[in-house]
Amino acid sequence: MNFEFSEEQLALKDEVRKFLAAKCPPDSVRALMAEGSPGIDRALWAQIAEQGWLGAAIPEEYGGLGLGYLELCCISEELGRAVAPIPFASTVYFFAEAILRAGSDAQKAVCLPKIVAGELIGAMASSEQPGPISVAKINAEVSGGKLNGTKLPVTDGSHADTAIVLAKEGGTPTQYLVDLNGPGVTRTAIETLDRSRDAARIEFNDAPAERLGGVGEGLALFEAINDRAAVLLAFEQLGGADMCLEMAKAYALDRYAFGRQIGAYQAIKHRLADMYTGNVLARGNAYYGAWALNSDAPELPVAAAGARISASEAYWFASKENIQIHGGMGYTWEVDCHLHYRRSRQLSLVAGSPRVWKNRLVTMLEKRNAA
Amino acid sequence: MDFNDTPEEAEYRAKVREWLEANAPRGLKGASLGDEDDSQLEAAKAWQAKKAAAGYAQIRWPKEWGGGGGTTIQSVIFGQEESKLGVHMGGPFAIGLGMCLPTVMATADEETKKRFVGPAVRGEEIWCQLFSEPAGGSDVAAIRTRAVRDGDEWVINGQKIWTSGAHYADFGILLVRTDPDAVKHKGLTMFWVDMKSPGIECKPIHQMSGARGFNEVFFTDVRVKDSQRLGALNDGWKVSIITLMNERASVSGSGGSRGGIAMSALRLAQRIEGEDGQPLSKDSAVREKIADWYVKSEGLRFTGLRSLTALSQGKTPRPEASVSKLVQAAGAQNIANEMIELQDQYGILLDEEFASADGQFQNMVMGAPGMRIAGGTDEILRNIIAERVLGMPGDIRVDKDLPFKDLPTGR
């Protein structure tokens, strides 16, 4: 039993942290959140690609580094900490994972090297209306290789080159690859809570669609991809939650009120202790998820649910209490608290809300009890 | 990162399992700490002796001290396998082996160590920890029990409280005030004491749960030799830190099962029909609560495994035991209450013949308030996390520079 990252993995994490501190300071994230901003830092994206990190877990035969998911988790944690405004999650956790899992040899050969090179931004288009995804709520339809329907929100949809679209063919849910730069695609950027990430409404009118995986396998594949993405997103959430705690800690030591550092008052101190506690629990659950993902363990769905629920709770708590501890300053545009508050909402919702994951988790536990 | 046993760990686990299958007593009913009856105490002693003879008591301790000469991981593996068989009888020895004896080993002379360590490991002698007082709970250094020197001896008068197992303990480690003119932390000294000494009287405390596991312990002109002193005169606060650090080390890294009581909560919810005729396990509010608790308790289990990894790599684990106790106690209270409210009017039943799940959740509701206080209140634990882990400033100490005898006292 060894429940820790290796020295090499921690060294990679450190390298990513230093890189992002230089290339992705909070001020550059804030600048990207101005009205009319594209919600993507193209220069950072190119530099990340240059480092090879987009292909950390992509096999060498497709141009990736072929390291593994533990290394990818280390990168994810740092991206979350920096609130990086790039389509890393959409492209790597969702798109590349879906191709690796369900793509044909040809699809892998076309997409994966481009992803590694930073030449293909991917997106996942599943949602169409409020509430969780279900078969009944998928109206997008493919017939004769042409897709019709509307997806909203599609994270990073304005910038993505290719999307994986959940649609029905002959009434059964199936996944498709759609070239977003091709015919029949109309995209509109939509304002969201997290302006550091783009989201779009995409209309498909007879857009050419290429099947990914088997007919009728759409929902199963959707869940399998979400399981994998959930673990990686949990590391982003963890990085963000730890950053919130560090910010709150630093402020509580700097700020004086009533003649003392505010960190000396138990009302503040105990809140910090609760933030720490939430983060420790989230880290434990995320590590279990990382192990399950990396070793392709049968425990992955349970581990992913635990990682996602725990990390979503921790980041939400840490990001909101970070604002509270900063007082009035925490509510200003210039202080970084809101970057995390916003990102925590984006990350908790993008692969399905905690409510849905809790329900899934208990369904799995019921099966365990029945066994 | 590897969640599975290494080949060596798997081999050790198999060996332990085989030994336990052949030797572990079955079907014994556990009791809360200090509330064991005579037969439960005898059974616990017999099991401890058997483990010691086979090298499975204090697995991490060197063989010369009666331990197993093994690793931390091995001791956790043994605990996991013991727990899988439902054998939970280490309670009476936990305080002695986890806190008192490490203190003795760190401070006493060779002769004293030789006298006490072996019998404690073999379960022949039970120890208790005499720190808390009516006037010193969270503020342990505020204790008032006095020791006055009389030649080669000390005469002790005062009262201790919340002492688990004092009524059946053979020995105890005792923190007393030896210099009331010094400031609070500077006038304390630690001794070991024979609990059968004349002048010691134990009075079990009737807890709100109905159990009687803790005691008030009264000292009236109790005489101890100066050679029973643990550490230097007036250095008792530092010695007590050794004890409490060991408490934290012994709590963490425990086994625990997947999901813990969340799984029994789910089983209970599956058995009870709701107003719509569906099992309550299908109610989304119930599902969310069970999921929340499952994830929290798993988070604690994984945190323990991270600490264990740090220990096995020779690193110092972070003081996660405070986190563990904080989450565990308050969480148990909440989930237990959810589970009794789930039972509607039946939830009030405690009688084992009628109560659902053998009254497990009713008993937990009654035990939880104590868990949130014993061994560091929720509030003290949050202070510890904030001050020792996060580096926040300490509270304002108005008693810092005053001689102990001049401190204001309430009731």
Determine how many CB atoms are found less than 10 A away from the CB of residue B314: 6
pLDDT (0 to 100) of residue B36: 85
Say which of B5, B326, B392 has its CB closest to residue A272.
B392
Say which of B287, B299, B300 has its CB closest to residue A358.
B287
Percent of chain A topping pLDDT 90 = 96
Same fold across A7-117 and A122-215: no
Percent of chain B topping pLDDT 70 = 96
pLDDT at residue B89 above 90? Answer: no
3-state secondary structure of A94: helix
pLDDT at residue B2 above 70? Answer: yes
| Greatest distance between any 2 Cα atoms in chain A | 74
Which residues 300-359 of chain A have a CB within 8 Å of chain B? 305-306, 309-310, 313, 355, 357-359
Cβ(B283)–Cβ(A364) below 8 Å? no
Counting Cβ atoms within 10 Å, is residue B382 exposed (0-12), middle (13-18) or buried (19+)? Answer: buried
* Contact call for A252 and B396, based on CB within 8 A: no
Tell me the pLDDT tens digit for each residue of B47-86.
999 999 999 999 989 999 999 999 888 988 898 888 888 8
Cβ(B103)–Cβ(B239) below 8 Å? yes
* Contact call for B303 and A70, based on CB within 8 A: no
pLDDT (0 to 100) of residue B256: 58
Q: How high is the ipTM of this complex?
A: 0.93
Q: What is the DSSP pairing of strand B188-194 with strand B146-150?
A: unpaired
3-state secondary structure of B374: coil
pLDDT (0 to 100) of residue B154: 98
pLDDT at residue B31 above 90? Answer: no
Task: Report yes or no: B1 at the A interface, CB cutoff 8 Å.
Answer: yes
Tell me the pLDDT tens digit for each residue of B188-217.
999 999 999 999 999 999 999 888 889 999
Task: Report yes or no: B267 at the A interface, CB cutoff 8 Å.
Answer: yes
Residue in B with minimal Cα distance to A292: B3
Residue type, A277: T
Any residues with CB less than 8 A from the CB of A22 and at least 6 apart, and which?
Answer: none
**What is the Cα B374 distance to its own chain's centre?**
9
Residue in B with minimal Cα distance to A361: B291
Cβ(A161)–Cβ(A99) below 8 Å? no
d(CA B214, CA B409) in angstroms, rounded, equals 25
Task: Report yes or no: B11 at the A interface, CB cutoff 8 Å.
Answer: no
**Nearest CA to CA, how far is A261 from chain B (Å)?**
8
d(CA B45, CA B25) in angstroms, rounded, equals 12
Given a cut of 50, the residues of chain A with pLDDT beneath it are none
Cβ(B41)–Cβ(B30) below 8 Å? no
Q: What is the DSSP pairing of strand B229-230 with strand B188-194?
A: antiparallel
Task: Give all strands (DSSP E) within B229-382, no chain letters.
Answer: 229-230
Average pLDDT of B121-131?
Answer: 95
* Contact call for B306 and A260, based on CB within 8 A: no
CATH number of B127-235: 2.40.110.10
pLDDT (0 to 100) of residue A34: 87
Per CATH, is A7-117 categorized as 1.10.10.10? no
d(CA A316, CA A19) in angstroms, rounded, equals 26
**Nearest CA to CA, how far is B333 from chain A (Å)?**
17
Task: Report yes or no: B392 at the A interface, CB cutoff 8 Å.
Answer: yes
* Contact call for A269 and B3, based on CB within 8 A: no
Task: Report yes or no: B152 at the A interface, CB cutoff 8 Å.
Answer: no
Any residues with CB less than 8 A from the CB of B188 and at least 6 apart, and which?
Answer: B141, B143, B175, B176, B177, B178, B234, B235, B236, B237, B240
Which residues 271-290 of chain B have a CB within 8 Å of chain A? 281, 284, 287-288, 290
d(CA B402, CA B406) in angstroms, rounded, equals 6
pLDDT (0 to 100) of residue B142: 92
Closest CA to A281 of A346, A223, A237: A237
Counting Cβ atoms within 10 Å, is residue B296 exposed (0-12), middle (13-18) or buried (19+)? Answer: buried
Say which of A263, A355, A365 has its CB closest to residue B259.
A365
Domain map of chain A by residue range? 7-117, 122-215, 219-370
Chain B residue numbers touching A281 (CB-CB < 8 A): 295-296, 299-300, 303, 323, 327
Report residue A336 as tokens: 């970084």
Cβ(B381)–Cβ(B390) below 8 Å? no
d(CA A142, CA A146) in angstroms, rounded, equals 5
Residue type, B404: F
* Contact call for B266 and A366, based on CB within 8 A: yes
* Contact call for A277 and B4, based on CB within 8 A: no
DSSP collapsed to 3 states, B266-278: HHHHHHCECCCCC
Say which of B287, B327, B391 has its CB closest to residue A362.
B287
Closest CA to A122 of A110, A137, A104, A135: A110
**End-to-end C-alpha distance for chain A, whole angstroms:** 26
Residue in B with minimal Cα distance to A247: B390
Tell me the pLDDT tens digit for each residue of A313-355.
999 999 999 999 999 999 999 999 999 999 999 999 999 999 9
Q: What is the DSSP pairing of strand A162-169 with strand A122-125?
A: parallel
Residue in B with minimal Cα distance to A249: B390
3-state secondary structure of A369: helix
Q: What is the mean pLDDT of chain B?
A: 90
CATH number of A122-215: 2.40.110.10
For B252-376, which CATH class? mainly alpha
d(CA B257, CA A300) in angstroms, rounded, equals 18
Determine how many CB atoms are found less than 10 A away from the CB of residue B132: 20
Cβ(A333)–Cβ(B227) below 8 Å? no
Say which of A249, A310, A355 has its CB closest to residue B299.
A310
d(CA B352, CA B360) in angstroms, rounded, equals 9
Angle of helix A266-294 versus helix A300-326 axis, rounded to 10: 160
Query: Phi, psi at residue A203, to the nearest 5°?
Result: -105, 130
Report residue B319 as tokens: 């003081």
Superfamily of domain A219-370: Butyryl-CoA Dehydrogenase, subunit A, domain 3 (1.20.140.10)
Q: Is the pTM of this model over 0.90?
A: yes
d(CA A361, CA A364) in angstroms, rounded, equals 5
Residue in B with minimal Cα distance to A269: B386
Tell me the pLDDT tens digit for each residue of A19-35.
999 999 999 999 999 88
Chain A residue numbers touching B3 (CB-CB < 8 A): 1, 3, 288, 291-292, 295, 297
Residue type, A164: I
Task: Give all strands (DSSP E) within A118-274, no chain letters.
Answer: 122-125, 141-143, 146-155, 162-169, 172-179, 185-189, 199-212, 256-257, 260-261
Say which of A264, A291, A368 has its CB closest to residue B1.
A291
Distances (CA, A) of A219 to A93, A96, A146, B29, B120: 17, 17, 20, 48, 60
**End-to-end C-alpha distance for chain B, whole angstroms:** 54
pLDDT at residue B249 above 60? Answer: no
Cβ(A128)–Cβ(A137) below 8 Å? yes
Cβ(A13)–Cβ(A56) below 8 Å? no
User: Per mean pLDDT, which range of A297-306, B275-284, B394-403 is the poorest?
Assistant: B394-403
Chain A residue numbers touching B392 (CB-CB < 8 A): 249, 252-253, 263-264, 268-269, 272
**Nearest CA to CA, how far is A309 from chain B (Å)?**
7
Interface test with B, best of A74, A255, A269 (most B CBs within 10 A): A269
Cβ(A330)–Cβ(A252) below 8 Å? no
Cβ(A93)–Cβ(A133) below 8 Å? no
Closest CA to B1 of B312, B242, B306, B343: B306
Task: Report yes or no: A2 at the B interface, CB cutoff 8 Å.
Answer: yes
Say which of B284, B382, B396 has its CB closest to residue A269.
B382
Chain A residue numbers touching B81 (CB-CB < 8 A): none
